[in-house]
Amino acid sequence: MTLESFNLSDPDQARAAIRPCVDIERWIDAVVEARPYSNVEEVLQVAAQAADPWTVAEIDGALAHHPRIGERANGSGREASLSRREQAGVDATDDSVTTELVSANRAYEEKFGRVFLIRAAGRSAPEILGALNDRLMNSPEKEVPVVAQQLREIALLRLEGVLGS
């Protein structure tokens, strides 16, 4: 979708176009309601601050759509396609790192009750594994803003891709 078509589309179409970026209603509404935008950078500035801070319930709801790092996203929808592209660096890793990622993912989910989330785009599997192991040392209270920041970074990358096409 081009920026021009996003600006001119009806609100429901605009919401549907950006929902794969992050499925948080307050964020989607804030970005859509601020239209029209003069350029993509302006959209990203609004989106970076929209609905800040996200609640734990919003974060957990949005994470329900995210596959585990190292797992292929199922489905043929836009969000699954974006996730597969973002995790391209993880796909090319060796089996020992993949095994460690599976184990660390499980430990993270047991500790925090949610899937581990990191902006995987541009990161290798060993880098992601290192960050995952570091974040396992966080308390649940310290981890919430870290997850929120990662989710927002992913949303912005996806939004830029959606409106840049």
pLDDT digits (tens, 9 = 90+) for 43-59: 999 999 999 999 999 99
Domain-by-domain residue ranges, the chain?
3-163
User: Which string of DSSP letters, residue by residue, matches 63-94?
Assistant: HTTPPPTTSPPPSSSHHHHHHHHHTHHHHT--
Using alpha carbons, list the distances in angstroms from residue 157 to 21, 33, 49, 122: 8, 20, 14, 11
pLDDT of residue 82: 58
pLDDT given for residue 140 in this prediction: 96
Which three-class secondary structure state does DSSP give residue 164? strand
CATH architecture assigned to 3-163: Orthogonal Bundle (1.10)
pLDDT digits (tens, 9 = 90+) for 103-158: 999 999 999 999 999 998 889 889 999 999 999 999 999 999 999 999 999 999 99
The per-residue pLDDT for range 55-79, each reduced to its tens digit, is: 999 999 999 878 888 665 455 555 5
How much is the pTM? 0.84
